[in-house]
A and B are shown apart, each in its own frame.
Chain A
Amino acid sequence: MAVRIDFAKLRFLVIDDNAHMRRILRTLLHGFGAREVYEAEDGASGLEAFTHYVPDIVISDWAMPIFDGLELAQMIRQPGANSNPYVAIVMLTGHSEKKRVTAARDAGVTEFLAKPISAKGLYERIVNVVASPRPFIKTKSYFGPDRRRMISPNYVGPERRKGGKADVIRQSALLDKVRAPG
């Protein structure tokens, strides 16, 4: 059964310096059924809007003036520094090289959506953050969603996390929990 999301219950913050792209994103989100869509045109005003509106999901461009989407994600992912360091961040960008994707992941971005965007691609990212949230990991050098999306049976190498349970952490999707009887 396909997951159904009630977009009217979600508050979005779209941060992109390009007015055309903001209009596209707003149109898509309203098309999905969202009512609360706030906008900001650069990283600085995006951070201010994030604090003011307390969005459920942040959709941010990467390349922006003042500070970019990556720096914004790093600022949001500061435990104790703002009201919701766990907010879902969807990074929207024309950059699609491996080093860029890795940098976004290491900044604590939840989902990555490469341009050109499509209604389907955006919808799938949003369903993912709502129905299948990942736990957060905090180490000396990282705070953000668990970067291990799966346990690879083919992985060969040392376990980098110390503590014994790192290799058996599994998370059932929220949707499964909701569906579970009792």
Chain B
Amino acid sequence: MAPPKDTAAVTTYGDYELITPQNKLRKALSDRPFDPNDDPVARAERALAELSGEFAGWMDEECDRLDNARQTVKTAGFTNAAKEQLFHAAHDIKGEAATFGFPACAAAADSLCRLIEYAPDATKIPIKLVDQHVDTVRAIIREYTRSNAMELAVQLNKRLREVTDEFLLHENRNRPDVIQSILGPSIVPNQ
């Protein structure tokens, strides 16, 4: 497809340019009044709900990926590739768990991401701690239908976080900037 010709308006100031590009998205603004019976967000949510029958299977696939990455670390050690594979699998679960209907798994996956990301030397990460994270994710999913599953998940996640923070704070004891990041809250607003 041939790109349209660019016609940006440029104003030059002392050490910068202010550029107002041609607004190509203007074509999508609609004059139609908002119809509460045709809410696009509600439509998208319905479409997602229709897809939700797939989510449990997808979550299982993501857990298998995490498990395989754990096995690679155990076999090959914390090589760069193995570390990246494990981080990526945990990171995807952290981002997807709530969408797939398993929000309680996100905290354990997040804790594993923090463990890998903030450990100055990954080879010092106890394999047992990695095992505990992966097994926790698995256990929470397996027991999700139990009446006290949420309570158990909260306890497991809390304990994992405590143990992980203890390890990370010790390993980063001479890196105050990293400690600040470890303990700092997210600044992304709630949606």
Closest A residue to B90 by CB, please name it. Answer: A94
Chain B residue contacts of A1, Cβ below 8 A: 33-34
B19 within 8 A of A: yes
A115-B33 contact in complex given A123-B44, A138-B16, A163-B14, C-beta closer than 8 Å: no
A56 contacts which of B1, B25, B44, B98 (Cβ < 8 Å)?
B25
Those of B3-60 within 8 Å (CB) of chain A: 3-4, 6, 8, 13-21, 23-34, 40-41, 43-48, 51, 58
Chain A residues within an 8 Å CB radius of B47: 27-28, 30-31
Q: Which of B72-102 contact A (CB under 8 A)?
A: 88, 91-92, 94-100
A99 to B166, CA, bound (A): 22
B171 within 8 A of A: no
Query: Is B156 on the interface with A (CB-CB < 8 A)?
Result: no
B188 engages A163 (CB within 8 Å): no
Instruction: Check if A174 sits within 8 Å of B26, measured CB to CB.
Output: yes
Asked if B141 lies at the interface with its beta carbon under 8 angstroms from chain A, I say no
Inter-chain contacts of A90 with B (CB < 8 A): none
Q: Which residues on the A side are within 8 Å of B25 (C-beta)?
A: 10, 56-57, 88, 129-130, 133
The answer to whether A53 touches B1, judged by C-beta atoms less than 8 angstroms apart, is yes
Contact check, A98 vs B95: say whether CB atoms are below 8 A apart: no
The answer, among B16, B18, B30, B33, for a CB contact under 8 Å with A5, is: B30
Give CA–CA (A129, B184) in the complex, Å. 29
A18 & B92 in contact (Cβ 8 Å cutoff): yes
Q: Which of B23, B40, B96, B106 contacts A21 (CB 8 A)?
A: B96
Q: Decide if B28 touches A116 in the complex (CB within 8 Å).
A: no
Question: Measured between alpha carbons, how far is A38 from B97 in the docked complex, in Å?
Answer: 24
A178 at the interface (CB under 8 A from B): yes
Are the C-beta atoms of A9 and B27 separated by less than 8 Å?
A: yes
Set of chain A residues within 8 Å of B191, measured between Cβ atoms: 113-114, 117-118, 120-121, 124
> With an 8 A cutoff between CB atoms, is A119 at the interface?
yes
Q: Tell me whether A20 and B58 are in contact (CB under 8 A).
A: yes
Once A52-B1, A118-B191, A161-B16 are accepted as A-B contacts, the answer to whether A33 and B186 lie under 8 Å apart by CB is: no
Instruction: Report which A residues bind B (CB closer than 8 A).
Output: 1-7, 9-10, 18, 20-21, 23-24, 27-33, 52-54, 56-57, 63, 83-84, 86, 88, 93-94, 96-99, 101, 112-124, 129-131, 133, 135-140, 146, 161-166, 169, 174-175, 178
